[in-house]
Structure 1
Amino acid sequence: MNYRHAFHAGNHADVLKHIAVLALCDALTAKPAAAFALDTHAGRGLYALDSNSAQRTGEAEGGIGRLMAEAPKHPAITRYLSAIRACRHDHGPTAYPGSPWLLAHALREQDRIAACELHPEEAKQLESVFARDSRVAVHERDGYGAMKALLPPRFGETRLNRGLVLIDPPFEAQLEEFDAALGALRDALTRWPQGTYAFWYPIKLRRSLQPFYRRAATLPAKSSFVAELLVRADDSPLRMNGSGLLILNPPWQLDQTMAGVLPLLAKVLGEDAAASGRLEWLKRED
């Protein structure tokens, strides 16, 4: 799976991921202390849904296009659609924000963001998006390596105790990507155990993910759950039938937010009767 994001911006996976990102940011900003966000695979930060790449797949029509048309009533969905409209107000009617743009949109002046992108052309675009935003540091580097280098986060001499690490890899290594991500998460949790971590993954055949679920449950987080959206049956290894998020150390009530969102997304974005949403706890805090 070679997931160059310009081809897939605004699809059903983005909808799930970005609703969760904003909910996580809102939990961080509910308290006055400064927070830190690390986006390990940031992409270019901003996309045009009328570009040749986006038009070639047409995936946004079945994702953000369909959701904006129906706009089901839920505070987290309303929050997300409001962010999309804010992005389009600033960047044009076909703009779609990547996760670093949403982080910058939702976080505050006292917060800090590190956005990592390994591909030089994407990193250059990312730098241009945030050229005037001093809160955002763009790093042209491997995101897993950045987790070692940048955690625990500091701002000057001050250690930041609250924050989010978003891991959204392109899955070019396919199932081997899970090994890299789980290893990076285990290491990061030993150095910054209080951080919240969100790892996005594609779903083709869900049964092939059973080893991932078992290993994720052993990570040294206080609590963890998976939130998954299928838009069709998970019975084909040839296409992405849905996606999920592994959330480690989730903030209070995030599970309730996602549990309310998932069936609405399945109803609006689902392509057949097998569409579904699922939230399952892997570990609950004692």
Structure 2
Amino acid sequence: MLSYRHSYHVGNHADVLKHIVLTLCIESLKEKEKPFLYLDTHSGAGRYLLKSEHAEKTGEYLSGINLLWQQSNIPELLKTYISILRRYNPFDELKYYPGSPLIAKQLLREQDKLNLTELHPSDYPLLRQEFSKDKRTTVLREDGFAQLKSKLPPQSRRGIILIDPSYEIKDDYQKIPAALFEAYKRFATGIYLIWYPVVSRTQTQKMIDGIVNLGIKRISQFELAIKPDNNQKGMTASGMIVINPPWKLHEQMRTVMPWLKSTLDTEKTGNFLIKELVSE
């Protein structure tokens, strides 16, 4: 049940898209002084060594963050994301990749709060160690989906919620619409980020349709495909469903996505999607 380790897939094209969207959304919340909560349902280990046995076995980062790292013409909108990477890699070599919790850790202010959950027995201690001295942060070894009930709404009534399970457990595709419905009932003004892989387009689309049919307003989709859909094993694309997107996000992604596709889609067989699924 808990065999998935993100260390095999760290820094791939899906991580890059997810963390760019996350960074832009966090930065938008910081435009107001009022504090907010960052809630991460499936946090992982926090920090990953790209030269580890796991990462080297798949080499997925080589066609992901490694391609961005080599670029000199980084778009202005990506400079905050890249600056976080440079804090963990102060020299030219790309050695470490920060997961979502560490990106949030670098971006959040003193008045903000982080709530992180991870069930994996190997990753949880690593995550806890990363945040052992951070008084803003609560790290729990609990079911991430359960946090959407127990931790919402935040006291500040402002927040960003990242939901990114491994989807190794196929029930995750069914769990997400139901969990979102419960979360939204409690906290309708939060920014919800739902990451998804495209391994089976049919399965992914069924989940997206389930989210659209919840009756929730203001839902957007941002997807990056490196390969065309196919029936072979492996992920061809990934995306982010964003509920209550910041008002600038569509415009920002219209700038970012063409550059991202050009940089990561080396075989020129993919595409990208920016779509409003449900309006106001």
TM-score range, shorter chain: over 0.9
Name the amino acid aligned to 2:167. F
List alignment gaps of at least 5 residues for structure 2: none
Percent of aligned pairs with the same amino acid: 36
Residues 237 and 193 of structure 1: CA distance in aligned 2, closer, same or farther (over 3 Å): farther
d(CA) in 2 for partners of 1:27, 1:3:
32
* Offset at residue 71 of structure 1 (A): 4.5
Mapping of residues 50-129 of structure 1, within 5 Å:
50-89=51-90, 93-129=94-130
Residues 177 and 215 of structure 1: CA distance in aligned 2, closer, same or farther (over 3 Å): same
Which range moves more in the overlay, 242-251 or 264-273? 264-273
Give CA deviations for 1:57-99 in whole Å, capped at 9, x if unaligned. 1111110101111254322222211110012239x95111000
Instruction: Check conservation: 2:222, 2:272, Cα contact below 8 A.
Output: yes
d(CA) in 2 for partners of 1:220, 1:134:
37
Instruction: Check conservation: 2:11, 2:61, Cα contact below 8 A.
Output: yes
d(CA) in 1 for partners of 2:146, 2:233:
30
- Give the SS at the match of 2:89: helix
Name the amino acid aligned to 1:177. D
Find 1:264's aligned residue among 259, 263, 274: 259
d(CA) in 1 for partners of 2:94, 2:233:
33
Residues 71 and 220 of structure 1: CA distance in aligned 2, closer, same or farther (over 3 Å): farther
Mapping of residues 144-163 of structure 1, within 5 Å:
144-153=145-154, 159-163=155-159
Residues 233 and 3 of structure 1: CA distance in aligned 2, closer, same or farther (over 3 Å): farther
Name the amino acid aligned to 1:278. L
Instruction: Check conservation: 1:72, 1:264, Cα contact below 8 A.
Output: no
Instruction: Check conservation: 1:189, 1:220, Cα contact below 8 A.
Output: no
Mapping of residues 95-244 of structure 1, within 5 Å:
95-153=96-154, 159-174=155-170, 176-244=171-239
Name the amino acid aligned to 2:169. A
Mapping of residues 2-13 of structure 1, within 5 Å:
3-13=4-14
- Give the SS at the match of 2:274: strand
Give CA deviations for 1:164-191 in whole Å, capped at 9, x if unaligned. 00001011123x3121111110110000
* Offset at residue 262 of structure 1 (A): 1.4
* Offset at residue 163 of structure 1 (A): 0.8
Pairs aligned (count)? 278
Instruction: Check conservation: 2:14, 2:237, Cα contact below 8 A.
Output: yes
d(CA) in 1 for partners of 2:214, 2:88:
36
d(CA) in 2 for partners of 1:115, 1:241:
28
TM-score by length of 2: 0.94
Give CA deviations for 1:113-168 in whole Å, capped at 9, x if unaligned. 00100112211100100111111110111100111111112xxxxx2111100001
Which range moves more in the overlay, 230-239 or 276-285? 230-239
Name the amino acid aligned to 1:163. G
TM-score by length of 1: 0.92
Instruction: Check conservation: 2:191, 2:242, Cα contact below 8 A.
Output: yes
Name the amino acid aligned to 1:284. S
Is 1:248 the counterpart of 2:249? The answer is: no
- Give the SS at the match of 1:177: helix
RMSD: 1.8
d(CA) in 1 for partners of 2:72, 2:215:
38
d(CA) in 1 for partners of 2:232, 2:146:
30
